[in-house]
């Protein structure tokens, strides 16, 4: 099956970038092409880490304000550390940097859980989800986020015995965090 991008142009470039494209592609049932216009959120990938403090049996989460969540959830949500991959940056390097900025922990080894699209119907954003084990003594920095980016982050520790309860209660609203915690329950416990 074939596709052709007939035209692409940016219709908005700010904090987010929106690209409009005219696309033609073959159909599954025959070879007559379909042509249509679509807008996509053109976003670089991001790296995120499920951080497990092994000696205390706690998952390290962060709480921060997320503007898109204000209408339904009040703005502050729990999630795993994450951040955008800078141009030319390796996803692992990004993950290590973000963990340190947001939590203060120095990560030595990362295990790739998955690399996936977050919302392929509207965005090209790709998530690199990692797992890392740390110990309390690996907390070398303050954490709390990058002040140059106006991040204001609180560290939240979740004992592994509470993961199921927190997932069932619906307190955790962030999809990447839900995926990571479910993976932990399936693969590490």
For residue 109, the Cα-to-chain-centroid distance in whole angstroms is: 19
Q: Which two tokens stand for residue 98?
A: 């973000």
Q: Which two tokens stand for residue 107?
A: 């990560």
Give the residue ranges of the chain where pLDDT is below 50.
none
List 149, 151, 162, 166, catalytic entry: 149
How distant, in Å, are the alpha carbons of 14, 22, 119 from that of 131? 32, 38, 21
Residues found in the chain: 189
Closest CA to 46 of 104, 95, 108: 95
What pLDDT, on the 0 to 100 scale, is given for residue 148? 62
| H/E segment holding residue 101 | helix 91-103
What pLDDT, on the 0 to 100 scale, is given for residue 131? 98
**Burial readout 26-62 (b: 16 or more C-beta within 10 A, e: otherwise):** eeeeeeeeeeeeeebebbebbbbbbbbbeeeebbbbb
What pLDDT, on the 0 to 100 scale, is given for residue 84? 93
Global pTM?
A: 0.90
Is 98 annotated as catalytic? no
What pLDDT, on the 0 to 100 scale, is given for residue 150? 66
Direct distance between the N- and C-terminal alpha carbons of the chain, in angstroms, rounded to an integer: 42
- pLDDT tens across 157-185, in order? 999 999 999 999 999 999 999 999 999 99
CA atoms of 135 and 149, how far apart (whole Å): 27
Domain boundaries, the chain: 3-41, 46-187
CATH fold group of domain 46-187: Nucleoside Triphosphate Pyrophosphohydrolase (3.90.79)
């Amino acid at each position: 099956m074939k596709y052709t991008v007939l035209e692409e142009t940016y219709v908005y470039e700010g904090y987010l970038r929106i690209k409009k494209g005219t696309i033609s592609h073959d159909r599954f049932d025959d070879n007559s092409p379909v042509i249509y216009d679509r807008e996509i959120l053109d976003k670089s990938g991001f790296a995120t880490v499920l951080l497990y403090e092994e000696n205390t049996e706690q998952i390290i989460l962060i709480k921060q304000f997320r503007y898109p969540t204000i209408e339904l959830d009040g703005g502050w949500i729990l999630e795993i550390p994450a951040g955008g991959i800078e141009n030319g940056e390796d996803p692992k390097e990004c993950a290590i940097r973000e963990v340190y900025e947001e939590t203060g922990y120095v990560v030595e080894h990362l295990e790739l859980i998955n690399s996936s699209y977050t919302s392929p119907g509207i965005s090209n954003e790709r998530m690199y989800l990692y797992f890392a084990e740390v110990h309390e003594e690996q907390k070398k920095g303050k954490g709390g986020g990058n002040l140059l980016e106006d991040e204001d982050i609180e560290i939240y520790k979740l004992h592994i015995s509470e993961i199921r309860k927190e997932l069932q209660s619906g307190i955790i609203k962030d999809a990447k965090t839900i995926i990571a915690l479910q993976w932990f329950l399936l693969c590490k416990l």
